[in-house]
């Protein structure tokens, strides 16, 4: 089947188009894309924006400019930026205890957990070890209360143990306690609406018709050594939200997992982090704020993701894996199934990849890695 590729791709970036087209070939390890989009920006301006394939499983609806895709953990990059803005404004500090703004969080020995430890997955709260109704995740206050009361699954600060879903509630509740708004509301009011960025945490019903169908991975991820933190994070029946249906999932605000966006909107947002903190003349964060947010908090073998990872304050730093191009100082986040968004302040570039056929890689999906490598090679 011939797939129509549309969008913008100057001759200079012809190799990016070649890789994008090749990702649709059936003889690839992932069996070809269903629908996908890749955007690459220089100083916040989109220079490459390629899309193709279909938004639905029946292959009847083209994957078009208005198609929204579920981001899963790529949403964490947006959440990290929202917290970084509070720190940049002097309303929060990375080194202060979470309990300063959320007193209930101090239960079970968590009184000294700092904001930066919580954001860099060092708090030991990667998931709920005890039996939990999967529908609890749709009750924000109940989920936060359970996290506040929970005992850490590993010694605080001893390692990172990726918090796939709980991160959003921890970061989101810190944000709400300081700002008074949810992250989804602040994103729309302060960033997305003023800058016309098609990014959402908590999707209104009016936008549901634009969301691409998902095809789940055909293979299980390779988790590595099983431990308590990993089991709670990924392997329990209640490790992720359930029991409410797709519409309720889209409406919910889960800043770790259920953002929806287009690739160019993400690439432009990350473009602000790649070019001094401003987008379209509007300052989102200072250069010092970017540096503080992306600075390394911990590095080593993660207890949940089977990789050595360098974590910033919610951002996944590019070294040592180099999933986001060749620059060590780049940072961003990847999402379950393959999506990603990144910023590279040293080169002034940013990018995003979204798709609706999910792969089995936990991070560093080869489809995205090849596109990003081709984009850098074209600079």
Give me the catalytic one of 39, 73, 310, 350. Answer: 73
Q: What would the two tokens of residue 248 be?
A: 């309720």
The label of the residue with tokens 């095809």 reads 215
- Three-class SS state of 117: helix
| Pair 152, 111: CB distance under 8 Å | no
The two three-digit tokens of residue 216, written as one number: 């789940």
73 in active site: yes
Number of H helices, E strands in the chain: 12, 14
Strand partners, 311: 298, 316
Strand order in the sheet with 340-344: 5-8, 45-53, 35-42, 349-355, 340-344, 331-334, 316-317, 308-311, 298-301
Burial status of residue 321 (CB atoms within 10 A of its CB: 0-12, 13-18, 19 or more): middle
Dist. CA 351–CA 374, nearest whole Å: 12
Q: What is the DSSP secondary structure assignment for residue 51, as one 8-state letter?
A: E
Rounded to the nearest angstrom, the gap between the alpha carbon of residue 353 and the centroid of all alpha carbons in its chain is 11
Closest to 168 (Cα-Cα) out of 83, 291, 265: 83
- Taking the CA atoms of the chain, what radius of gyration do you get in angstroms? 19
The DSSP H or E segment spanning 71 is strand 69-72
Q: Is 235 exposed, middle or buried (0-12, 13-18, 19+ CB in 10 A)?
A: exposed
Which DSSP letter does residue 114 get? B
Sign (positive or negative) of CA dihedral 322, 324, 327, 332: negative
350 beta partners: 41, 343
Query: Which helix (H) or strand (E) covers residue 331, if one does?
Result: strand 331-334
Nearest 5°: the CA angle 180, 175, 150 is 115
Question: Strands, DSSP E only, in 230-302?
Answer: 259-261, 278-279, 282-283, 298-301
Give the active site residues.
73
């Amino acid at each position: 089947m011939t797939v129509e590729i549309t969008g913008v791709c100057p001759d200079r970036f012809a190799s990016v188009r070649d890789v994008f087209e090749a990702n649709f070939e059936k003889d690839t390890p992932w069996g070809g894309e269903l629908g996908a989009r890749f955007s690459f920006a220089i100083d916040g301006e989109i220079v490459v924006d390629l899309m193709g394939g279909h938004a639905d499983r029946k292959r009847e609806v083209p994957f078009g400019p208005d198609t929204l895709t579920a981001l899963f953990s790529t949403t964490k990059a947006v959440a990290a930026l929202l917290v970084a803005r509070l720190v940049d404004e002097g309303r929060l500090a990375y080194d202060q205890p979470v309990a300063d703004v959320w007193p209930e969080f101090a239960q079970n020995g968590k009184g000294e957990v700092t904001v930066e430890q919580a954001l860099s997955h060092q708090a030991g709260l990667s998931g709920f070890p005890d039996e939990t109704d999967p529908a609890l995740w749709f009750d924000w206050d109940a989920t936060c209360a359970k996290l506040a009361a929970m005992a850490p699954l590993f010694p605080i600060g001893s390692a990172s143990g990726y918090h796939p879903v709980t991160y959003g509630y921890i970061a989101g509740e810190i944000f709400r306690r300081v700002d008074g708004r949810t992250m989804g509301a602040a994103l729309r009011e302060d960033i997305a609406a003023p800058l016309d960025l098609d990014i959402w945490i908590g999707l209104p019903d009016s936008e549901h018709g634009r969301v691409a169908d998902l095809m789940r991975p055909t293979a299980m991820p390779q988790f590595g050594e099983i431990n308590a933190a990993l089991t709670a994070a990924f392997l329990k029946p209640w490790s992720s939200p359930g029991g409410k249906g797709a519409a309720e999932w889209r409406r919910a605000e889960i800043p770790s997992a259920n953002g929806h966006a287009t690739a160019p909107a993400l690439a432009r947002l990350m473009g602000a982090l790649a070019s001094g903190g401003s987008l379209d003349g509007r300052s989102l964060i200072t250069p010092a704020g970017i540096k503080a947010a992306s600075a390394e908090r911990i590095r080593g073998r993660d207890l949940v993701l089977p990789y050595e990872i360098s974590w910033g304050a919610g951002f996944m730093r590019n070294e040592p894996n180099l999933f986001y191009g060749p620059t060590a100082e780049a940072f961003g986040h990847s999402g379950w199934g393959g999506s990603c968004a990144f910023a590279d302040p040293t080169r002034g570039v940013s990018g995003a990849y979204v798709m609706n056929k999910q792969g089995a890689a936990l991070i560093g999906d080869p489809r995205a890695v090849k596109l990003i490598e081709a984009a850098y090679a074209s600079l």
